Amino acid sequence: MKNLRAIIELSQDIIGLQELERSAEILSQRIRDLYGIQYVGLFSVENEQHLSLLHGSGLGKDEITNIKLLSWWEDIANEVLSTRKVVIISGDLARQRFEGGFASALGLPLFSSHGLKGIIVMLCDSDSFCPGDISDELVVMSMPLTAEIVSAELYARLEELFLSTILALASAVDAKHPYTRGHSERVTRYSMAIAQEMEMDKSAFKDLRISALLHDVGKIGISENVLDKNGKLTDDEYDMIKQHPSIGARIVGKIVNSEKIVPGILDHHERYDGKGYPNGKKGEEISLFGRIIAVADTFDAMTSTRAYRKALPFQIAVEEIVYNSGYQFDPKIVKFFVQAYEKNKDIWQRENIIYSAI
């Protein structure tokens, strides 16, 4: 195998990267460099039925050409998907099928012990290309990518199970109190809307979702007599309430290894002016997630009927958030909150039924 060194170097570049699209890009570029192939499409196979383009090399500025190229890639990939075999197109058939633009093509299935997981599609404008000569090398070169595809699938399943568990836990907390039913999901939805306006990256977005869903999980450790009290809380009772962010941070800290998720839970009752709890943090000492969830949590609290007061109209609640910008809330977060609210008010709506305390 003449390209053994290149294959070893490729494996070193990809293994452990844990960025599927980046791994596909590296593999695609290496194929182009080694074999002089201009057009390479790499697909993952989802449930052995659906294709997803991981990376395409050779796409240019001509939109019509790109559409044709993507269509040819997908046609060959679907042929491989249905036959589970190598597809080779050359000679007159290639010139006819690709409108004279390409002289040969190769579609190569990538298998693992879990089945068909990926497909490589190459289009070449040279008659001298002999796909059979490089098929075995390509399979070996692609092994790290195939393994990454399998790992990504397993991770996605674990993440889905984890999020389902998180949602069930958050719902269990909310369900203890009729007037907080759905609170954690709404706070999460509002936090996501703010994050979208901030153009938060995908990884942080996922972490924020978990942090927002679990922001009140510490209330599990607070007496229901205190949480459900109709009248004014005593100083001791209020001190108990103020413990729930710390309790929640300790609970989640034992099951989630994240530097971002736990601070969001711990800090969601801190104030920008330093007068919040549990640690009296000020300004940007407060975690970003904490500052976002604080706005979302307060908005939902104001627009919900609670044991001690009726819900405020949405617009009044927005004005209250703006009024407290720079005092209770980070002004930058408030700006993104207002943008999100004005852009799509449906995000902020809820069921017509507002649960009242029993």
Residues 6+ apart with CB under 8 A from 271: 282, 294, 327, 328, 329
What does the pLDDT look like over 33-90, one tens digit per residue?
A: 777 777 888 888 876 678 888 888 877 777 777 788 888 889 998 998 988 888 888 8
Fold of the domain built from segment(s) 4-152? Beta-Lactamase (3.30.450)
Residue type, 324: N
pLDDT for the residue numbered 358: 26
Q: Domain spans of the chain? A: 4-152, 176-348
The listed range with the strongest mean pLDDT (26-30, 80-84, 192-196) is 192-196
Q: Whole-angstrom Cα distance, residue 287 to residue 341?
A: 22
Residue type, 317: A
pLDDT for the residue numbered 168: 73
Among the residue ranges 3-12, 205-214, 243-252, 300-309, the one predicted with the least confidence is 3-12
What does the pLDDT look like over 303-319, one tens digit per residue?
A: 887 666 688 888 899 99
pLDDT band for position 337 (50/70/90)? very high
Q: How many CB atoms lie within 10 A of CB 199?
A: 8
Fold of the domain built from segment(s) 176-348? Hypothetical protein af1432 (1.10.3210)
pLDDT band for position 124 (50/70/90)? confident
Percentage with pLDDT > 90 across the chain: 27
pLDDT for the residue numbered 46: 76
Residue type, 95: R
Q: Select the more confidently predicted residue: 126 or 74.
A: 74
pLDDT for the residue numbered 51: 85
pLDDT for the residue numbered 31: 78
Q: Whole-angstrom Cα distance, residue 70 to residue 179?
A: 52
